[in-house]
């Protein structure tokens, strides 16, 4: 049964980066004591949305995906423009998810089109390790994730495409076995877990999130729906075709209002 949490008016989720409740929640999720728990009890937003996610930090490897899409299921225009499809509240939520995660993962196309920093800037918390999935070694190393030195960065490349260079800018090049499509998501999870990176946030894009979902390698998926219709553009989640609705995925869901946007969180595995 779906649960709905109303986070309105919008200023209720525009929490300051130094907010004591958020820092207490991060501390608890990292295995700290329950000192400051009173802050969590007084703040239903943080407890409802992030409490279960922080709790998963103590349960081994966990992977959460996130996408922002239009009402008609598009994440960008055909030429790759996606800024800013969702609102400021969803952007801040994304930064909070980065702060929870050990590592944030994106595909090569996201880096190529958006040139993201993938750092924590809109809330308290440490930058996660940045993981870029580039099976064919297409990126040229000029993007900010390879040059700014803001956080440790890994470039995951298909084993048969790894050359002699061990680095790309400041990033370490890591070989990964191929799966049926692209890099094998479970090999990615295994390789990162060996490096102590257990809580993973797959931030995009649509192809990367879809491949993790199709492989059964996502534990949760967050889809933020913005009240806009593009009419064309790049699709959100794309999975293999089915011919019977009994083969569809039916996860447990929670719904949150993020300003004008609605985020639906799907839980596949606890």
Round to whole Å and give the CA distance between 218 and 213.
5
Round to whole Å and give the CA distance between 161 and 177.
10
Q: What CATH number has the domain bearing residue 93?
A: 3.40.430.10
Let me know if residue 47 belongs to a domain: no
Residue 259 is predicted with a pLDDT of 93
Say if residues 63 and 200 touch (Cβ distance below 8 Å).
Answer: yes
Task: Determine how many CB atoms are found less than 10 A away from the CB of residue 53.
Answer: 21
Let me know if residue 34 belongs to a domain: no
Let me know if residue 90 belongs to a domain: yes
Residue at token pair 């996201």: 110
Let me know if residue 172 belongs to a domain: yes
Q: pLDDT tens digits for the chain (270 residues)?
A: 444 444 433 333 444 444 788 888 887 767 665 444 444 444 467 788 998 998 887 778 999 999 999 999 999 988 877 888 999 999 999 999 999 999 999 999 999 989 999 999 999 999 999 999 999 999 999 999 999 999 999 999 999 999 888 999 999 999 999 988 889 999 999 999 999 999 999 998 999 999 999 999 999 999 999 999 999 999 999 999 999 999 999 999 999 999 999 999 999 998
Could you give the number of structural domains in the chain? 1
Say if residues 266 and 237 touch (Cβ distance below 8 Å).
Answer: no
State the residue range of the domain holding 169: 61-230+251-267
For residue 224, with 0-12 CB atoms within 10 Å meaning exposed, 13-18 middle and 19 or more buried, which class applies?
buried
What's the pTM value of the predicted model, to 2 decimals? 0.89
Residue 230 is predicted with a pLDDT of 94
Let me know if residue 92 belongs to a domain: yes
Let me know if residue 30 belongs to a domain: no
As a dihedral over the C-alpha atoms of residue 33, residue 36, residue 42, residue 44, rounded to 10 degrees, the angle is -40
Let me know if residue 193 belongs to a domain: yes
For residue 205, with 0-12 CB atoms within 10 Å meaning exposed, 13-18 middle and 19 or more buried, which class applies?
buried
Let me know if residue 78 belongs to a domain: yes
Residue 12 is predicted with a pLDDT of 36
């Amino acid at each position: 049964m779906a649960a709905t949490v109303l986070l309105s008016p919008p200023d209720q989720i525009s929490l300051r980066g130094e907010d004591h409740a958020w820092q207490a929640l991060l501390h608890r999720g990292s295995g700290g004591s329950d000192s400051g728990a009173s802050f969590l009890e007084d703040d239903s937003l943080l407890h409802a949305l992030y409490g279960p996610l922080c709790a998963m930090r103590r349960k081994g490897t966990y992977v959460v995906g996130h996408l922002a899409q239009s009402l008609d299921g598009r994440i960008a225009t055909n030429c790759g423009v996606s800024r800013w499809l969702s609102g400021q509240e969803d952007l801040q939520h994304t930064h909070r998810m980065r702060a929870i995660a050990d590592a944030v993962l994106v595909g090569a196309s996201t880096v190529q089109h958006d040139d993201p920093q993938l750092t924590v800037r809109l809330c308290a918390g440490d930058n996660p390790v940045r993981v870029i999935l580039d099976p064919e070694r297409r990126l040229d190393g000029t993007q900010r994730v390879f040059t700014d030195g803001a956080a440790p960065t890994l470039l995951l490349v298909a084993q048969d495409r790894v050359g002699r260079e061990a680095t790309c800018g400041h990033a370490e090049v890591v070989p990964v076995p191929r799966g049926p499509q692209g890099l094998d998501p479970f090999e990615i999870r295994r390789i990162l877990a060996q490096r102590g990176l257990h809580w993973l946030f797959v931030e995009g894009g649509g192809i990367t999130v879809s491949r993790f979902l199709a492989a059964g390698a996502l534990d949760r998926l967050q889809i933020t729906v913005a009240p806009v219709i593009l009419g064309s553009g790049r699709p959100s989640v794309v999975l293999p075709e089915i011919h019977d609705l009994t083969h569809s995925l039916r996860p447990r869901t929670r719904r949150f209002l993020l300003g004008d946007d609605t985020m639906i969180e799907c839980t596949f595995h606890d």
